[in-house]
C-alpha cells in the first residue's frame, strides 16, 4: 500500500516510521524543507538504533528507510491509497489541505486526520467525498505508543472504520474506536489532568518537580504532568486545550490556564525549544 503523510513534525515523522516499518511505501511531505530534512534524519537514526538494540532486524530497518520518500511536491501523492495529515492543529489549514488533496488523489483514496481535538466531521465537511474521511489519532511518540484512536466522522461510510481498524492493527498497534466528540477518549481525560496539575501549582500547594515526582513515583504515571506537557509542546497542548474547551461550549471543566497560555505566547514550547515548565539548555 502507498501511504502519504503530510506534516513531518513530531507526529508525522513518527507515523511515517511506523507505516514504513510495517512495509508500506511512504511519501512524507512538509512545507518546511528543514523540518522534512530533520524528520528523515531522525527516522533513519531511530530505525538504526532499534536495529542496534536488537529490537528490529537490521534488514527490516534498512528496508523501511528505502521505502521512505521525503518530498515537498504534493503531486507525488497521486498514487496514494491513504493520506494521513499531521500538520498544525488548525481547522482552516486542515480543511484547505484536504480540498487541495482531493484534486490530486484518486476517488477511492482514504483521507485521514491525526487531529487531537478538532471535529473530524467538520474537517470531512470540507471534502467533496466526506465518506472516505476518518480520524486516525496516534500518540506521541508514535513508534512506541501502542494506542491509536480510530474516529469515524458522521459522514464516514460504515465499513471504513473496521477497515482502518484492521489496517492499524496490522501495523502492530492497538486501535480503539471512538465517537467524534472533542478530545475523543484520551485527550478528554487528559485536559482536566493537566488543568488540575497547573491549578495545584498556581494555588501554591506544591512546586512543579514535587507534583511530577508524586505522580511518577507514587501515582505510577510514566511522566509527570509538567514533564509530559513540555514533551508534547505547549504550542500543541495549549491549542488542544483551547479547542476542547470551545468545543464543549465553554464547560469550565476544560478551561485553559493563563500559566500555560503565557508559555505558549512566549514561544516557550517545552523540550523542543529548550524552555517550558523546565529548562533543557
Measured CA to CA, the distance from residue 207 to residue 191 in angstroms comes to 19
Q: Exactly one of 114, 121, 156, 227 binds ligand NAD (CB under 6 A); which one?
A: 114
Instruction: Find the binding residues for ligand NAD in span 142-201 (CB under 6 A).
Output: none
Which range touches ligand NAD (CB under 6 A), out of 16-24, 110-118, 121-129, 195-203? 110-118
Q: Exactly one of 7, 130, 195, 270 binds ligand NAD (CB under 6 A); which one?
A: 7
Catalytic residue (choose from 149, 234, 237, 243): 149
Asked if 53 and 47 touch (Cβ cutoff 8 Å), the reply is no
Q: Exactly one of 6, 47, 110, 127 binds ligand NAD (CB under 6 A); which one?
A: 6
Catalytic residue (choose from 8, 46, 116, 117): 116
Residue 46 CB burial class (10 angstroms; 0-12, 13-18, ≥19): buried
Residue 149 a catalytic site member: yes
Our CB check for ligand NAD shows the closer of 157 and 272 to be 272
Is 10 a residue that touches ligand NAD (CB under 6 A)? yes
Q: Exactly one of 4, 5, 28, 30 binds ligand NAD (CB under 6 A); which one?
A: 30
What separation in angstroms does the CA of 127 have from each of 3, 27, 97, 132?
Answer: 19, 21, 10, 9
Measured CA to CA, the distance from residue 181 to residue 171 in angstroms comes to 25
How big is the site for ligand NAD, counted in residues (CB under 6 A)? 28
Least Å distance between CB 260 and ligand NAD?
A: 15
Which residues are within 8 A (CB) of 178 and not within 5 positions of it... i.e. 6 or more apart? Answer: 149, 150, 151, 184, 185
Is 9 a residue that touches ligand NAD (CB under 6 A)? yes
Our CB check for ligand NAD shows the closer of 52 and 265 to be 265
Is 106 a residue that touches ligand NAD (CB under 6 A)? no
Which of 5, 81, 72 lies closest to 43, judged by CA?
5
Our CB check for ligand NAD shows the closer of 72 and 210 to be 72
Place of cell 529490537: 55
Our CB check for ligand NAD shows the closer of 93 and 174 to be 93
Helix 234-247 and helix 225-232: axis angle, to 10°?
A: 100
- Residues binding ligand NAD (CB under 6 A): 6-12, 29-32, 35, 86-89, 93, 97, 114-116, 138-140, 232-233, 236, 240
User: Which residues are part of the catalytic machinery?
Assistant: 116, 137, 149, 187
Amino acid at each position: 500500500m502507498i501511504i502519504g503523510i503530510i506534516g513531518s513534525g513530531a507526529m508525522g515523522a513518527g507515523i511515517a516510521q511506523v507505516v514504513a516499518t510495517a512495509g508500506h511505501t511512504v511519501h512524507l511531505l512538509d512545507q518546511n524543507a528543514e523540518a522534512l530534512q530533520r524528520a528523515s534524519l531522525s527516522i533513519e537514526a531511530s530505525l538504526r538504533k532499534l536495529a542496534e538494540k536488537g529490537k528490529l532486524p537490521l534488514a527490516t530497518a534498512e528496508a523501511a528507510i528505502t521505502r521512505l520518500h521525503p518530498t515537498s511536491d504534493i503531486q507525488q501523492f497521486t498514487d496514494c491509497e491513504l493520506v494521513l495529515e499531521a500538520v498544525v492543529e488548525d481547522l482552516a489549514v486542515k480543511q484547505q489541505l484536504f480540498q487541495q488533496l482531493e484534486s490530486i488523489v484518486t476517488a477511492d483514496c482514504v483521507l485521514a486526520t491525526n487531529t487531537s481535538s478538532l471535529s473530524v466531521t467538520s474537517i470531512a465537511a470540507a471534502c467533496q467525498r466526506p465518506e472516505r474521511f476518518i480520524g486516525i489519532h496516534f500518540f506521541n511518540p508514535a513508534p512506541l505508543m501502542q494506542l491509536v484512536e480510530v474516529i469515524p466522522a458522521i459522514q464516514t461510510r460504515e465499513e471504513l472504520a473496521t477497515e482502518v481498524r484492521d489496517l492499524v492493527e496490522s501495523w502492530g498497534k492497538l486501535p480503539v474506536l471512538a465517537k467524534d466528540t472533542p478530545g475523543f477518549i484520551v485527550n478528554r481525560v487528559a485536559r482536566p489532568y493537566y488543568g488540575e496539575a497547573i491549578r495545584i501549582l498556581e494555588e501554591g500547594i506544591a512546586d512543579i518537580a514535587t507534583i511530577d515526582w508524586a505522580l511518577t513515583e507514587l501515582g505510577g504515571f510514566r511522566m509527570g504532568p509538567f514533564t509530559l506537557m513540555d514533551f508534547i509542546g505547549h504550542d500543541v497542548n495549549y491549542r488542544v486545550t483551547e479547542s476542547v474547551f470551545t468545543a464543549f461550549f465553554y464547560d469550565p471543566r476544560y478551561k485553559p490556564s493563563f500559566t500555560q497560555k503565557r508559555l505558549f505566547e512566549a514561544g516557550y514550547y517545552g523540550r523542543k525549544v529548550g524552555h517550558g515548565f523546565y529548562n533543557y539548555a
